Amino acid sequence: MIKDSGKTDQLVTLILKGIEDAKGQNIDILDLRELENTVCDYFIICDGTSNTHVNALVNSVQKVVSKEISEKPWHVEGTENAEWVLVDYVNIVVHVFQKHIREYYDIEGLWGDAKVTSIATNY
C-alpha cells in the first residue's frame, strides 16, 4: 500500500486544529514510523478536563476533519464514559484522555522509542 504523506501531514494538522479549537491540553504527537510492527504512523494524544470536555474534543476533531477534507474516522471507541476515547483514522490514531486515565495507562511510556513532539498551547 502506498501512503500519501501529504495527506497524512494534512490530517495531522487538522486533528491538531480540532484539539486546539476545543482547548485540549498536554498535546503530544508520537511518530511511530521508524518503529517496527506499529499499527499506524502517528498517535496524537491529549487531555480533557472532564468527560464532557473529552467528548467535545473528539467532536471538534471529527468536525474539523470532515469539513476540511471529508474524512470520517474508521472507528471511534470510548465515548460512553469518555475517560479515554480513541479516534482511528487508520494512519493516525487520536487518544483523548482525562488526565488521571492518561497517567494510569502511560501510552508515551509504552511507546518510549517513538519520537515525541509536544505542542504548546496559548490558553
Residue range 32-62, pLDDT digits in tens: 999 998 989 999 999 999 999 999 999 999 9
Q: Which of 2-6, 70-74, 113-117 has the lowest mean pLDDT?
A: 2-6
Task: Give the pLDDT confidence score for residue 4 in this predicted structure.
Answer: 67
Mean pLDDT of 109-115: 94
Q: Which of 24-28, 49-53, 59-63, 118-122 has the lowest mean pLDDT?
A: 118-122
Would you identify the CATH topology of the domain 5-112? Beta Polymerase; domain 2 (3.30.460)
Report the share of the chain in percent with pLDDT over 90.
89
Kindly report, residue by residue over 14-23, the tens digit of the pLDDT. Answer: 999 999 999 9
Rounded Cα gap, residues 108 and 123, in angstroms: 23
Phi then psi for residue 92, to 5 deg, are -130, 130
Mean pLDDT of 96-109: 97
Mean pLDDT of 118-123: 90
Task: Give the pLDDT confidence score for residue 73 in this predicted structure.
Answer: 97
Run of H or E residues at 42: strand 42-48
Residue found by looking up cell 491540553 in the block = 25
Residue 51 burial (CB < 10 Å; 0-12/13-18/19+)? middle
Task: Give the pLDDT confidence score for residue 1 in this predicted structure.
Answer: 34
Q: Which three cell numbers stand for residue 7?
A: 495527506
